[in-house]
């Protein structure tokens, strides 16, 4: 199992991403508001304030956390995210990363899970 962490720059994409994830058998995820370090620094440290968007509120992202049960599902999930946000290698789309899960309790068992 892997923990998929997807930081999505445009919060308007979240519903579409969750719909796409559901279609590729990711049946559960947690979504949280998040903010990048540069935005926080720009609004709180005078030196970085010149990098802030003048007159705007700090930019919020959305971060999705999902437990992925197989490599096949992981590939489908990343492809689903890129269908909505575009190529993740391009600026202002987002960041996707995974971490191995060596223990998990409380999730519904899926056939084939250890």
**94 SS3 class:** strand
pLDDT higher at 22 or 47: 22
Do 85 and 12 touch, CB atoms closer than 8 A?
no
pLDDT digits (tens, 9 = 90+) for 70-104: 999 999 999 999 999 999 999 889 999 999 999 98
- Structural domains present in the chain: 2-100 (3.30.70.120)
Whether the pLDDT of residue 46 is over 90: the answer is: no
């Amino acid at each position: 199992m892997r923990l998929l962490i997807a930081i999505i720059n445009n919060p308007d994409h979240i519903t579409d991403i969750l719909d796409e994830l559901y279609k590729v058998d990711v049946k559960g995820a947690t979504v949280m508001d998040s903010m990048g370090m540069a935005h926080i620094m720009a609004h709180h440290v005078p030196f970085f304030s010149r990098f802030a968007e003048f007159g705007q509120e700090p930019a919020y992202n959305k971060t999705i956390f999902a437990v992925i049960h197989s490599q096949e599902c992981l590939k489908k999930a990343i492809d689903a995210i890129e269908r909505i946000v575009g190529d993740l290698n391009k600026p202002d789309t987002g960041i996707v990363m995974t971490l191995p899960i060596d223990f998990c309790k409380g999730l519904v068992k899926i056939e084939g899970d250890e």
